[in-house]
A and B are shown apart, each in its own frame.
Chain A
Amino acid sequence: MSQRTVQLTRVVAVTGVLSVVVGCAASSQQRAAKAQLERAQAAYQQAQADPNVQAYAQLRLGDAQKALRAAEQAEDSQEKIHLGYLAEKKALLASVTGATSKTEQNMEQLRKETSDVLLQKRDRELKAARIETDAKAREAEQWRRVAEAKARETDQGRRQTDEAEAKALAAEHAKATALANELASLKAQQTDRGMVLTVGDVLFDPGKAQVGPGAQRSIDKLADFLKTYPKRNVVIEGHSDNIGDEDFNVKLSQQRADAVHDLLVARGVAAQRIRTKGYGPKFPVVDNDSAAGRQQNRRVEVLVLNEGLSAEGATR
């Protein structure tokens, strides 16, 4: 009996201990499951309240919700803990995914902003470059204006020169006119060698080389003319009638030319500008038949050469 009782007591004790151990184990598991479920619920609520999750991680949130439902409905504590863990992680994953998507969205915005700023920067750089270019252009323009002004000055100078030249030309023209007038008064004739003028009609007495007093005025005019136009040389040609020996007449005509030469030199005309030549009766201007004709042929012709022609070689 006592043996049995001891055995029974043992059995009861063992059973009791076992039941306590099992009970403890069960309640701690349940607590753990409850705690895990609470963590999952908290994580889910946080994710659900997150606008980024709502905007970018709806699918993940749905996943988490399903996992949470499964965890809540699980009977077994171990299964509850497991599913609770999965639900918690899924909720956290939703939150992180939402945050990342938000950041990526921001990055997109930043990228746009960057390209905007870069564009603005390039615009301003271009503008700055344009301003610099403009400044350079302005500088160049200034230089151009200076150059233009200088050119204008030079132009003016040239115009002044031109004016001076024109004046000179006009003066020369006037001179030429005066010359022509003077030569006209000397009864000059324009030939291709220059002006030919016959000094006096009745200059010389027969057989004489002396210039008569009536020709002195003509000689004066000629001398003035030659002094006014120092570049014009003259050839003085002496002519005679056909009375008498030809050699004599040539010499006579030469003497007549020389006489005019001497008169001109005496009036200040440089001797080297004058060349003389006696032709005798070789070039009569009229017939020697009459006394009047012969008178006309006894003459001296002064050839005023065109400017630049030398008296040498200008003879006939």
Chain B
Amino acid sequence: MEEVSVDDQTRQFFRGRVVCFALAALSVAGCASHGPLASAKVSHAERAVEEAQQVGAATSAPVELRAAQDKLTAAQAAMAKGNHDRAIRDAEQAALDGEYARALAANQRANTIADEMGQYIKVLRQELERLPK
């Protein structure tokens, strides 16, 4: 009985160690694989938001830009806390939101220019009509 219990204790001890080691290894692996990825994703999101701001998304797509900025902030916070999965998700969404805001800004800009060109042509045509054929 004594031996058996000793034997059991030893087994338990080893089992606990293995579990601990496995957990440690897993956590290290998690850090190793998700850390740089999250960091890259956050950087990408930062760039996307910056680019959206540069093309004037603050005025032409304020809601989308705000969403991107909020998610970027969340991603940065999660990153700081070491919550890489959360950081990756937020950063991915923030990057797409930023890209979308940028696309909306570009679209609006194109529309404005096209409208102006249309106006210009209208004026030109009127001037053309006034000239003798």
B93-A85 in contact (CB<8A)? yes
B residues engaging A (CB < 8 A)?
A: 89, 92-93, 96-97, 99-100, 103-104, 106-107, 110-111, 113-114, 117-118, 120-121, 124-125, 127-128, 131-133
Q: Which of A111-136 contact B (CB under 8 A)?
A: 111, 113-114, 117-118, 120-121, 124-125, 127-128, 131
Chain A residues with CB under 8 Å of chain B are: 82, 85-86, 89-90, 92-93, 96-97, 99-100, 103-104, 106-107, 110-111, 113-114, 117-118, 120-121, 124-125, 127-128, 131
| Chain A residues whose CB sits within 8 angstroms of the CB of B111 once the complex forms | 103
Complex partner residue of A82 from B92, B127, B133, CB under 8 angstroms: B92
Residues of A within 8 A of B99 (CB): 89, 93
User: For residue B120, which residues in chain A have a CB less than 8 angstroms away from its CB?
Assistant: 114
Query: Is B131 in contact with A96, judged by CB distance below 8 angstroms?
Result: no
A110–B133 Cα distance when bound, in Å, is: 22
Q: Which residues of A contact B114 (CB under 8 A)?
A: 103, 106-107, 110
Q: Flag if B131 contacts A128 (CB, 8 Å).
A: yes
7 closest pairs, A vs B, by CB? A124-B131, A103-B110, A110-B117, A89-B96, A100-B107, A96-B103, A117-B124
Residues of chain B contacted by A92 (CB below 8 angstroms): 100
Question: 13 A-B contacts, Cβ less than 8 Å apart?
Answer: A86-B92, A86-B96, A89-B97, A89-B100, A90-B96, A99-B107, A100-B107, A100-B110, A103-B114, A107-B117, A110-B114, A113-B121, A125-B131
For A124, list chain B residues within 8 Å (CB). 128, 131-133
Residues of the B chain whose Cβ atoms lie less than 8 Å from the Cβ of A121: 124, 127-128, 131
Q: Across the interface, which residues of A come within 8 angstroms of B131, CB to CB?
A: 121, 124-125, 127-128
Contact indicator B117/A111 (Cβ below 8 Å): yes
In the complex, what's the smallest C-beta–C-beta distance from A6 to chain B, in angstroms? 34
B9 smallest CB distance to A (angstroms): 31
**Distance in Å: Cβ of A102 to nearest Cβ of chain B:** 9
- Minimum CB–CB distance from A24 to chain B (whole Å) comes to 23
Residues of A within 8 A of B89 (CB): 82
Nearest chain-B residue to A96 (Cβ)? B103
Cβ–Cβ < 8 Å partners of B104 in chain A = 96
